[in-house]
Chain A
Amino acid sequence: MENIVQIKNMIKRYPAGSGEFTALKDINLTIGKGEFTGFVGPSGSGKTTLLNIIGTLDRQSEGDVQVMGTDVLKLTHKQSARLRSEKIGFIFQSYNLLPVYTVYENVEFPLLLLNIPESKRKEMVLKALEWVGLTDKIKSKPHQLSGGECQRVAIARAIVKRPLLVVADEPTANLDAENSHHILKTMVELNRELKTTFIFSTHDQKVINYLERKISLIDGRITKDEIKEG
């Protein structure tokens, strides 16, 4: 499998009032394995919508979307859940950690869904927390952590199962500059070490500076697709 994402002539419409609203138009896009890519554009340009379709949380209205070689329209709910649990990690703007669980348990959760045995789980969770530098907080609950720490837990949770693809929707929107750089560096390292593909949505210049490829969206259309030199 060469391409992680392959989209052809894709359109996404939402029902709006009595009519319809077209959130994505004529999307043609290929993202290869190991890329460090981002969708950049103003608010309402369709970044989240596109990420959700790639993450199989939503479906396109028209066109062809292949994620890791499978046609997403052909997947049942159960199959797409399985695809997500095995191959896709999510990072959200607002962290979305499970509040009653500890850092360790939050990171462990995706592994429970994969029925990974306990000892193996422990090893993987500790490794993931090591990457994000949070091994000293494994027993803390989310409300005891700072925003930056929460987002690092979320990163650990996204990458603990070594997914092929990590989808991150504005991961730095709630973080200050220092924390933003910290987590971006972590993600760049993971991208290099594990060959994990990262797809971001952002309008944060700090993030844009780290991207290897910048795909610009305006009004639901791709207007520019730039690959960084060097």
Chain B
Amino acid sequence: MFKFLMKGILRDKSRTLYPLITISMGVMLIVFMWCWANGAMSGMVDKTASLDLGHMKIVTRAYEEIIDQKPYDLCLTDVDELLVELKQKYPGIKFKPRTNFGGLLDVPDENGQTKAQGDFIGIAMNLLNDPDEIETFSLKDAMVMGHLPKKSDEILISNVIFEKFELKLNDTVSIITSTMYGSMSIRNYKVAGTVRFGVKALDRGAVLIDNSAIADLLDMENASSEIFCFLPEMEYSRRDAEKIKTSFNAEFTDVDNEFSPYMRTMNDDATMGYMMKMTNTSIMFMNFGLMIMVAIVLWNSGLLNNIRRYGEMGVRLAMGESKGHIYRSIVKESILIGILGSVIGTLLGLAISLYLQYHPVDISHYMNNSSIMMGNEYAAKIDGISLFIGFIPGVLASILGSMLAGRGIYKRQTAQLFKEMEK
């Protein structure tokens, strides 16, 4: 009997091909969307981690409370000693001290008079002797012109400011800011190069400076407002991050000392945590929605198909096959078609995703004004889940469609089914 049914499936193209195409397309979309969202998400996570949040970051407890204001007067101290200890305790994890500060950028003319002035976002980091940090911050990719700073008094500035202020490379600019103790501080720096990250916040007014300069500029001797932490292979895992956070805080955080170090993970960031959750939920919803859509299409095509097949059903009933047996055989057929369609759809979806994984779409045009930290390139990313994610909805939709359509057999009187074939 099984062989008999298989022959029917293989020979009756209109019975098999249409549902197969529908399921394949649905599954393809599901797989592709998954890889796409996965790629977008991990692109965003990577970018945000490298520029803004780290996988984890260490700050003082006081700083943590108002972390959005980046209050460098509440910075970590004795940073060199802390770093030595951290490297020993957590081998494999990268620790990168960075300090955010703000102020005015002043461009003098040849007479020393102010030619242009504007505010900036300053980031102090290891620019001079830490190739690893250059990599982490994707600085090489971000460089538009000039070279990386070679000395303490050389800085990088955003290409937007550079053009707005009509600067030239090696021009001298003044930074006007306040020290961590609140007194005014003015220092001159040479523009070594310009950068563009594709992130609105940074591109509007970033100034990158080496950590060695802030002892003088901000009066931050052996201090840093944040220490970025990166997991091995730069691969974020919430579980690992939480684990390290717990052990770190148990050891280093002192509830009585608000300047004691405290570690938080990327997920502790309100926006980022929300984005991650939203993405996961919306992918689930999209998949569910697609599955229902595919099921409805299959239901309809199944109905048409079954009406076309009432003749066959009538004959089979007359020959003495029971309704239940016929119904089950329709459902079994749909399982086979569902699996086959899911395999085809998954392969197609993976093929497209694979292509886009290696040929990312350049979205820098759209991202120039984005406040979301996302890479300039948008690539799909295949993971283990993408191999399976299409199967459940693909097979379920097929079964659901055929079950709904197959109920027609039960609704009709045997003789009635039988008459419909005579027309």
Q: Which residues of A contact B (CB under 8 A)?
A: 52, 55, 57-58, 77-78, 81-86, 88, 90, 92-94, 96-101, 105, 109-110, 112-113, 157
Residue B322 at the A interface, CB < 8 A?
A: yes
Whether A81 lies near B321 (C-beta < 8 A) is yes
Q: Which residues of B contact A (CB under 8 A)?
A: 1, 4, 7-8, 11-12, 311-312, 314-325, 413-415, 418, 421-422
**Bound complex: CA of A98 vs CA of B5, how far in Å?**
12
**Bound complex: CA of A110 vs CA of B316, how far in Å?**
8
Provide the residues of chain B in CB contact with A112, threshold 8 Å: 1, 4
- Checking A81, A82, A83, A96 against B311 with a beta-carbon cut-off of 8 angstroms, the contacting residue is A96
- Checking B8, B321, B414, B422 against A57 with a beta-carbon cut-off of 8 angstroms, the contacting residue is B414
**Bound complex: CA of A94 vs CA of B420, how far in Å?**
12
Whether A77 lies near B319 (C-beta < 8 A) is no
- Checking B321, B322, B421 against A96 with a beta-carbon cut-off of 8 angstroms, the contacting residue is B421
**Bound complex: CA of A96 vs CA of B311, how far in Å?**
7
Whether A55 lies near B318 (C-beta < 8 A) is yes
- Checking B11, B319, B414, B421 against A113 with a beta-carbon cut-off of 8 angstroms, the contacting residue is B319
Q: Which of B312, B413, B414 has the largest count of A CB atoms less than 10 A from its CB?
A: B414
**Bound complex: CA of A54 vs CA of B414, how far in Å?**
13
**Bound complex: CA of A85 vs CA of B314, how far in Å?**
13
CB A32 to nearest CB in B, in angstroms, measures 23
Q: List 16 A-B contacts (CB under 8 A).
A: A77-B322, A77-B323, A77-B414, A81-B317, A81-B325, A82-B320, A84-B317, A84-B320, A86-B320, A90-B318, A90-B319, A93-B422, A94-B421, A96-B311, A96-B314, A157-B319
Whether B319 lies near A109 (C-beta < 8 A) is yes
**Bound complex: CA of A100 vs CA of B320, how far in Å?**
20
CB A44 to nearest CB in B, in angstroms, measures 14
Question: Beyond the given A77-B323, A90-B318, could you list 7 further A-B residue pairs with CB under 8 A, ordered by the A residue number?
Answer: A57-B318, A58-B414, A77-B322, A82-B320, A84-B317, A88-B320, A98-B315
Provide the residues of chain A in CB contact with B421, threshold 8 Å: 94, 96
10 interchain residue pairs of minimum CB distance:
A85-B320, A84-B320, A58-B415, A81-B322, A100-B11, A57-B415, A90-B318, A100-B12, A52-B415, A96-B315
**Bound complex: CA of A58 vs CA of B322, how far in Å?**
14
Provide the residues of chain B in CB contact with A88, threshold 8 Å: 320
**Bound complex: CA of A78 vs CA of B323, how far in Å?**
8
Provide the residues of chain A in CB contact with B422, threshold 8 Å: 92-94
**Bound complex: CA of A55 vs CA of B415, how far in Å?**
10
CB A16 to nearest CB in B, in angstroms, measures 14
Whether A113 lies near B324 (C-beta < 8 A) is no
**Bound complex: CA of A55 vs CA of B318, how far in Å?**
8
Whether A109 lies near B320 (C-beta < 8 A) is no
Provide the residues of chain B in CB contact with A101, threshold 8 Å: 4, 7-8, 11
Provide the residues of chain B in CB contact with A110, threshold 8 Å: 319-320
Provide the residues of chain A in CB contact with B7, threshold 8 Å: 100-101, 105
**Bound complex: CA of A14 vs CA of B157, how far in Å?**
89
Which partner residue on chain A sits nearest B11 by CB separation? A100
